[in-house]
Amino acid sequence: MTRATFGPACALMLLFGAVANAAAPTTRTLHEHWQFRLLPGDAQAAQHPQMRDWMPASVPGEVHTDLLAASLIPDPDRGSAEAGLQWIGLADWEYRAHFDLGAETLRRRHLDLIFEGLDTYAEVTLNGKGLLSADNMHRRWRVPAKAHLKARGNELRVVLHSPIHRLLPIVQAIPPSQRLPGAYSSAFGDEPPDVHTDNYVRKANYQYGWDWGPRYVTAGIWRPVKLEAWDGFRIDDFHIKQDSVAAGAAQLEAELDVDADAARAVELALDYRGPDGKRSAAFTQQVTLKAGHNVVRMPLRIEQPRRWFPAGYGEQALYTFDARLGDVAVTRRTGLRSIELRREKDGWGRSMAFVVNGIPVFAKGANVIPFDSFASRVTRAQHAQVLRAAREDNMNMLRLWGGGYYESDDLYDLADELGLLLWQDFMFGGAIPPADDPAFRANVRAEAIDQLTRLRDHPSIALWCGNNEIETSWKGWGDRQTFKKGAPERAAQVWAGYRKLFGDELPALAARYHGDVPYWSSSPGTNLQGEVDVDDDGDRHSWAVWSGEPVEHYLDTSPRFMSEYGLQSLPVMRSVRAFAGPDELRIDSPVITAHQKYDGGKGNARILKYIGDNYGAPKDFESFVYLSQVMQAEGIELAATHLRSERPRSMGSLYWQLNDVWPGASWSSIDYYGRRKALAFHARRFYAPLLIAPIRNKGRTHVTLVSDRMTPTAAAWRLRVIDFDGKVVRDERHEAILPPLSSALVADYDDAHLLGGADPRRMVAVFELIVGGSSVSRQFVYFDAAKNLALPDPELRTSLLREDAGYRLLVSAKRFAREVWIDSGDLDVELEVNALTLLPGETVALRLASSEALATIERELHVRDLHDAVRSFDPITGTSQ
């Protein structure tokens, strides 16, 4: 969906009195001939005098990206540049552009300037006249400008004030005991450790630094600038309200928000094109507009609609609705579907399940963070690459996390087309906001209306959530408890403001502007209906694993909906080499440490702990990178497989996180450059529609068959226990019928029964689900930690063959090969499968896509597996022992 688009005039309006005909609005982008500089008199000018002169700028853009384009700063993503670039966020900046207008445009009765995004404290002047004072990165601003425009030589200026510089004195003036707790303290001295300004400004929280991304406090005109010319009236928004959608009929209401400068009568004509492209007959009605704001409504019924379904449950049918009010035409694309958040009491507590078109959907997916430190440079191609990968990896839901910004229309359009449900947070990332301040809440309400109206026709949006982790942090985090004890009266005011904003005002706005989608107050939470972050109600963020508990701890909890859990890894070596030089490839090097944001750079030690507990010590840096991905993939697979086996008790698995904001260590499964980690390839298997889920815990293995299909599935499941050389000590096969939308426990074994006296260090249990004679799911159960297994050299062999559409890669193993990783060196190739495990004597054929020559790929291609990644090695010094 895009915002309303204007078509050519084709009819005359019916007028009252002497009101003139109103031509269709026209829109012009103002993206050319921009310049920027440090604001004259700024304190940073002494250290950066070359930035006092006007320099070319890009709009949309940010100061950082403009400075980088001018070669005035190093690449913020490479090396250890971050610390040296903090001054940018402390400075005030000025942008200007010059433009001319034609006589025809100047004759229009209304000329409005539209700013889709100003970051953040912005003063806008036109030809020396003040137009706008903006204070919210997430809002859209429209300003009447006709009185200040002229035919030639218009000058538009935007002064952008540092939010830190503006707010720091205000926050420092607050008694320390009453300062609101924030998210992350600055590591660079631009804010004292006990002072947080990000709570008090409506700006993307992640830009102040997070545990997976850098601190780049941006400023800029980060979304488009437009000049809209109109006469008489304009359509501000066109919405297809879905009152009820069922298989037999969809009862809809077309709703147009219209601004008119005088009363008039016009005709409204509406038709639609179905998913097959066929156009309906036109529906018409006469409309009387009054001067000012109007809401025009037309009921509409579609018999036997083709409904929109999430991926795996049906088609992604999309309708296009065209409305014409007089000479003004608008278009809206949407999908027809019903959605509810089912909350029912049962034997496990209270459920939390998304139900689309009457179908309970087990949510399979991940959390999405911003795609870049600098939002203006994210492209549709980047969104498409990551979202299509999510769909290929059998996901059906993504959570758009609240510490960033509301994404561009591109992402939502792609989600509609791909069938990816979207859990949409409002933009609150975890810092405690001053919600008791009426002016702050009014600003948030205006922001919410902007975003609800912009996004409400996307069928992919399944939930509006008030915030990320504010409620759970308020109730449980140490610094919040200190705040409440030190300033109890202030704390009571803050909590009352919280309940008013997230419990009253935002749900009321969501119901008014996007009422066919449920609202949820906070994640994790219970919608202000009880304790938060608990197993028996609402959604959970599970971070005991990664905080020290072993990965097996995932098996000790069965939440109703798991909306966050994760383990870190490094990106693939090609991505590491993109930000670190050859002499920096050490776990403790300054660059590697700078690109590890967890716990002030100490996260690699945490990764190493989880590797050591399960796999042993990496033999070199590349093995450390490889093992970090193996550890992450196998750990998340254990959790996700367990959650799916617990259906319907658990109805959601959204791991943290899908993507990256910059290149570095993080919880992502797809790195900043769009390259899949091992976790992404595992996700394709553990999120498959049909799954065999053998879960070993405390010496027992429970086997569950899971189906996301809508109809019963005839299948067989097979168990083999083999040694690493291929000797089979147990082989059994069972027939089964998988009910639709189900998990079913089919077997329970203890280790002694499975092993039959064989050495557990040399054995693996192989479980397969077979449908139509083909294996659709294969899982492995080991009887000890990987570091204790006697994994042999599998003697891996590869062969690359040219095919018409690309290449076919054959990979074979003489003996058991665990976590085989196919590496393409400095080449980007696309593999359908990676991070796979091969049985003794097995050969697999994989499709490989690349524009490179066969000989080039063969030279760069190499494979590795778990057995040769570990030996006595000191990752700190990089030396063997």
- 705 has a pLDDT exceeding 50: yes
Choose the final residue of a domain: 180, 198, 226. Answer: 226
Give per-residue pLDDT as tens, 70-128.
999 999 999 999 999 999 999 999 999 999 999 999 999 999 999 999 999 999 999 99
822 within a domain of the structure (yes/no): yes
Clarify whether residues 72 and 147 are in a common domain. Answer: yes
68 within a domain of the structure (yes/no): yes
Clarify whether residues 777 and 757 are in a common domain. Answer: yes
Question: How many residues does the structure list for the chain?
Answer: 881
How many folded domains does the chain comprise?
4
Pair 160, 220: CB distance under 8 Å: yes
Clarify whether residues 188 and 255 are in a common domain. Answer: no
Clarify whether residues 177 and 125 are in a common domain. Answer: yes
Choose the final residue of a domain: 206, 226, 246. Answer: 226
Pair 689, 708: CB distance under 8 Å: yes
- 880 has a pLDDT exceeding 50: no
Query: Among the listed ranges 609-618, 647-656, 870-879, which one has the minimum average pLDDT value?
Result: 870-879
Q: Which residues, other chains included, contact 245 with Cβ-Cβ below 8 Å and sequence gap of 6+?
A: 251, 305, 307, 336, 337, 338, 357
CATH number at residue 241: 2.60.40.10
Clarify whether residues 75 and 182 are in a common domain. Answer: yes
- 500 has a pLDDT exceeding 60: yes
**How confident is the model at residue 871, as a pLDDT?**
66
Clarify whether residues 95 and 215 are in a common domain. Answer: yes
Clarify whether residues 801 and 759 are in a common domain. Answer: no
- 877 has a pLDDT exceeding 80: no
411 within a domain of the structure (yes/no): no
600 within a domain of the structure (yes/no): no
Q: Which residues, other chains included, contact 497 with Cβ-Cβ below 8 Å and sequence gap of 6+?
A: 434, 435, 436, 437, 441
544 within a domain of the structure (yes/no): no
Give per-residue pLDDT as tens, 310-357.
999 999 999 999 999 999 999 999 999 999 999 999 999 999 999 999
725 within a domain of the structure (yes/no): yes
Token pair in block for residue 651: 């109805």
- 1 has a pLDDT exceeding 90: no
Clarify whether residues 770 and 847 are in a common domain. Answer: no
pLDDT band at 17 (very low <50, low <70, confident <90, very high): very low
What type of residue sits at position 408? Answer: S
439 within a domain of the structure (yes/no): no
* CA dist., res. 526 & res. 834, Å (int): 39
Choose the final residue of a domain: 211, 226, 241. Answer: 226
pTM (2 decimals)?
0.95
Clarify whether residues 211 and 329 are in a common domain. Answer: no
388 within a domain of the structure (yes/no): no
Clarify whether residues 202 and 318 are in a common domain. Answer: no
Pair 246, 223: CB distance under 8 Å: no
DSSP state of 130: E
b/e string for 489-523 if b means 16 or more Cβ within 10 A? ebbebbbebbeebbbebbbebbeebbebbbbbbbb
Q: Which residues, other chains included, contact 527 with Cβ-Cβ below 8 Å and sequence gap of 6+?
A: 343, 520, 521, 538
Q: Domain containing 699: what range? A: 690-788
Give per-residue pLDDT as tens, 216-248.
999 999 999 999 999 999 999 999 999 999 999
CATH number at residue 170: 2.60.120.260
Clarify whether residues 728 and 821 are in a common domain. Answer: no
The DSSP annotation for 268-326 comes to EEEEEE-TT-PBPPPEEEEEEE-SEEEEEEEEEEEES---B--TTSS-B--EEEEEEET
Candidates 298, 294, 228, 288; CA nearest to 260 is 294
Clarify whether residues 121 and 42 are in a common domain. Answer: yes
CA angle at residue 643 from 641 to 648, to 5 degrees?
Answer: 125
